[in-house]
Amino acid sequence: MKVILLEDIKGVGKKNQIINASDGYARNYLLPRNLAIEANKETLGELKSKQESIQRQKDIDKNNAINIKEKMKKLVLEISVKAGENGKIFGGVTAKDISEALEKNCEIKVDKKKIIIEEPIKTIGYKEVEVKLYEGVIGKLKVNVINE
């Protein structure tokens, strides 16, 4: 029996995938627990339109990420911190600081988890940071750490 999975099921398939399940497994386990629905013309049409909608949204998100990447190329983000006489920063500039400065100064909202720095920036000067904007879209951002 062909069924469309409504949830990810380990060892069986992913959500919105069409699988061939044995009649007993489908009727006694998948269908009663609302883990799948029977694949017929109506449900296949709904699935196709749902997948097209998801793909359109993914394309829009990717285009937005590419636009943000282009903005970041031209951008130099300045972050002012307190530093000692030798240029060492008290504490460090973290991904969270960069994310907040981007949102405040440039109105670009990026999750701190998507900003790639191995360790906090601890010196004054320019540093290039990578930002994962979307699947396959990585932007580079120049960060200028200056003394207050």
- The model carries a pTM of 0.70
Q: For the domain bounded by 63-147, which CATH number is listed?
A: 3.10.430.100
pLDDT of residue 22: 94
Partners of 38 in the beta sheet? 3
pLDDT of residue 43: 92
CATH number of 2-59: 3.40.5.10
Could you report the per-residue pLDDT of 53-78, keeping only the tens digit for each? 999 999 999 999 999 899 888 889 89
DSSP 8-24: -BTTTB-TT-EEE--HH
Same fold yes or no, 2-59 and 63-147? no
Judge whether 79 and 145 are in contact, CB under 8 Å.
yes
pLDDT, position 146:
87
- Pull the structure tokens for residue 65: 């990420």
Give the DSSP per-residue string, 12-61.
TB-TT-EEE--HHHIIIIITTTTSEEE--HHHHHHHHHHHHHHHHHHHHH
Beta bridge partners of 139: 131
Residue 66, helix vs strand vs coil: helix
Chunked into runs of 10 residues, the chain (148 residues) has average pLDDT values of 93 92 94 94 92 94 91 88 81 89 88 90 89 90 87
Q: Is 1 helix (H, G, I), strand (E, B) or coil?
A: coil
CA dihedral defined by 73, 75, 81, 84, rounded to 10 degrees? 60
Domain ranges of the chain: 2-59, 63-147
pLDDT at 85 (0 to 100): 78
